[in-house]
Chains A and B, each alone.
Chain A
Amino acid sequence: MWTEKYRPRSLNDIVDQEEIVNRLKSFVKAKNVPHCIFAGPPGTGKTTAALCLAQDLYGPGYREYVMELNASDERGINVVRETVKTFARTKSIGEVSFKILILDEADNMTSDAQQALRRTMERYTETARFILIANYSGKIIEPIQSRCAPFRFTYLPMEHAINWIKHIAENEKLTIEDDGLEAILEISGGDLRRATNILQTAASVGKPINEETIYSVVGRANPSDVQGMLLTALNGNFVEARKKLRDMILKYGLAGTDIIGQIHNETFKLNVPDKWKVKLADIIGEVDFRLLQGSNEEIQLSALLAKLVEAGADIKRGQ
């Protein structure tokens, strides 16, 4: 995958997030790294920065000293207890006296697991340093935040994103038309991973890379026709809308929280009176919260679809 092929391998290769990179370089120089939190939107280089830091610190054999865990795949208290502890308690032999544990998507950990993590961090500070990666640092519990140096990643400025895509295109000997480049930027909205995946997919089709190819590729890649589902409900066909929802969840394995994010985005684009948009936002927010409490995705979202059917009927009657 090009996302990996072109992932920078040293802090020196990272062109963006200048301030952050400089601070990280100073850690390498001092051969000392505090516990860190890397927070920021997806595709802005958080994981890359962590991996580069490790490679600069330990050199080519860095894998021996670094452990990468993804909290979404292995959340829960047991993983922290067992895996992390086993890794954290053995000493590293070499110039640098500690190992690094990169915990990706740390904001997806349960608060119990975070509590356990906090103790582990404290106990093994001598032998292991943690880099927690999260989209929202707010979801990390306060006691961990206070033990970590915070780093806030932001979306790349447009010209850097453009350079990035051009750099890959040049290496892969691709020709991108200007409107194609614009389309990628528009869709990926500063998320470089997304931009790179779209570019590679468009290149695989073997057609000139222009606006049309990009939009057709992205359209095909998005099975979650959220907009279609919402319109079906607004037109009064609840059963069909629910079927679309069911397909998204069961066939394509989309998570309820992702669907709800998309619904939220689409709602404000819908052709319904503003009064309803606000009402719907309230309902969507409530569903979002209920999902966090362990409710069933399809059932909660169906109730939302039923509200849309109601809205559709009201609008038709001119209310």
Chain B
Amino acid sequence: MNVPWTLKYKPQTLDEVVGNKEAKDTILRWIREWNKKPPKKRALFIYGPPGTGKTVAAEALANDLGMELVQSNASNYRTSEAVQKFAGIASQYTTLFGKKRLILFDELDGIAGNADRGGLREITEVIKVTNSPIVLTANNAYDPRFSTLREHCQLVEFKKPTRTEIETLLKKICSYEGIEAEVEALKLIAERASGDLRSAINDLQALSQGKKRLTYEDVSWLSTRDRKDAVFKVLSDIFYARSSSDARRAVDAADVDLDMLFEWIYENAPYQIKNPNELSAVMEMLAVADLYRGRIGSTQNWELIRYFIDFMTAGVAVSWSHKSSGWVPFKFPTRIMMMSQSRAEREILTIIGLKIGKRCHISATCAIKEVIPYLRIIFQANDKWKKGLSRWFDLDEDMVNYLLTVKN
């Protein structure tokens, strides 16, 4: 069975969509208004982080009400002409077979820059006159480009589901699939996903396919979707590639998550490459790759991903002589493990920072940097002051203990 579980376990009804109760209520209230006549705001703008169920909610809604979903995604509304096609559909009340329609403009973030402004303007026009309910989705509804559009929409925010909500769903899927999963394993998957339900389900499938048992070790070691030996092969294909195109091809051949692959390369470069000049050149290539990844993040232009791949593969391969001083085994990227381990610590640090910041009129960042290091020493040195200051800052026992145990 090769059906992605994200599809197989996609909610069929709005009720099944994980979390976001308030948002779902708003959606229902809005769609009910349509029973009488088109409401003042004829479009619903669902926004929120990736993988929180925005699209799925629209689909489930159509399903609930027996409507036909007319869907369009980013590539279809680059121009106003493309959008006008929808205008025709939107003006009709029902399909030939008497079914009502729900129109979905998915992933509006995909509209980039000024070139596509026509498309956005046209969508606004369609909304003004539509006779069928319209749903829009985007990550950030407050993007200035959406300002006019927004005025004609009922806004609904989808928030990240909590770790427990994700865990519950994973548990359910496991029981359907007949997988016996350790609680800790699911907890870790849920935590790593940090609110992205889609990636959590994908991870669960990648880790447990063909297995009857899923243990904590499976999750912590195999990490995101990668099988260890497959990764080793890809790494060696990249580091020791004969040509730049061979290095790039290694990625295609590998079914690995790109960010994770990057971590593997980044972790292992200094172990494989001993010559300082070569190591420096390779690390610079990785830094440039990372720079492109950052630009993808800030511009949401996913086409830049090819440069990320170029530099992490070809860039690395051609920047050194491939003369290794004997076989060196590849190492697991410890940074990933450390990041999830220290996440809890950093969270408590931020909370303490915020509390101090409130009292001392500074930001949490400033408190972490300028007050907490001194507070640690004070707490360790002076019991009386520790008590007084903890009370004044409103720190609970866990926080005080944290400050006492972590050494400067």
Contacts and interface: CB of A to CB of B under 8 A. Distances in A.
A223 interface: yes
B270 interface: yes
B29 to A, nearest CB: 22
Given A197-B370, A222-B373, A3 B363 contact: no
Nearest to A254: B369
Contacts of A295: 287, 290-291, 293-294
B67 interface: no
A302 B381 CA distance: 36
A42 B287 CA distance: 32
B160 to A, nearest CB: 15
B382 A205 contact: yes
A299 B408 contact: no
Contact of A306 (B279, B360, B362): B279
B329 interface: no
B369 A258 contact: yes
Contacts of B297: 294
A205 B381 contact: yes
Do most interface residues of chain A lie in helix, strand or loop, or is the interface mixed?
helix
Nearest to B279: A306
Contacts of B279: 238, 306, 309-310
Given A1-B392, A296-B294, 16 more contacts: A70-B364, A71-B363, A73-B363, A104-B363, A105-B363, A115-B144, A201-B378, A204-B377, A220-B377, A221-B376, A255-B369, A294-B297, A306-B270, A306-B282, A307-B283, A310-B277
A251 B144 CA distance: 37
Interface string B267-281: 000110000110110
Nearest to A287: B287
Interface residues of B, number: 55
Contact of B276 (A108, A220, A312): A312
A72 B365 contact: yes
B128 interface: no
A39 interface: no
- Interface size bracket, A side: 35 or more
B377 A201 contact: yes
A239 B276 CA distance: 12
Contacts of B382: 204-206
Given A250-B338, A313-B277, A47 B361 contact: yes
Interface string A77-92: 1100100000000000
B34 to A, nearest CB: 29
Contact of A307 (B280, B293, B362, B374): B280
A290 B295 CA distance: 10
- Report, nearest first, the 10 A-B pairs whose CB atoms are least far apart: A294-B294, A72-B363, A303-B287, A306-B283, A221-B373, A295-B294, A204-B382, A313-B276, A310-B280, A204-B378
B283 A294 contact: no
A27 B197 CA distance: 54
A236 B279 CA distance: 11
Contacts of B298: 293-294
A97 B376 CA distance: 44
B316 interface: no
A101 to B, nearest CB: 14
A221 B280 contact: no
Contacts of B359: 1, 4
Contacts of A61: none
Contacts of A220: 373, 377, 408
Given A201-B378, A217-B377, A303-B283, A70 B370 contact: no
Given A250-B339, A298-B335, A299-B266, A221 B377 contact: yes
A198 interface: yes
Given A238-B279, A250-B339, A253-B346, A1 B371 contact: yes
Contacts of B369: 254-255, 258
Contacts of A258: 369
A242 interface: yes
B286 interface: yes
A307 B286 CA distance: 13
A287 B290 CA distance: 11
Contacts of A217: 374, 377
Of listed B297, B381, B385, B389, residue having the most chain A CB within 10 A: B381
A239 B277 contact: no
Interface string A114-142: 01000000000000000000000000000
A61 B350 CA distance: 30
B345 interface: yes
A239 B294 contact: no
Nearest to B283: A306
Contacts of A300: 287, 290-291
Given A201-B374, A204-B377, A253-B368, A78 B290 contact: no
Contacts of B291: 290, 293, 295, 300
B354 interface: yes
Of listed A4, A105, A298, A303, residue having the most chain B CB within 10 A: A303
A68 interface: yes
A290 B361 contact: no
B142 A205 contact: no
Interface in A219-233: 220-223
B399 to A, nearest CB: 14
B371 A239 contact: no
Nearest to A238: B270
B114 interface: no
B342 interface: yes
Given A197-B370, A294-B295, A70 B142 contact: no
B284 A242 contact: no
A205 B382 CA distance: 7
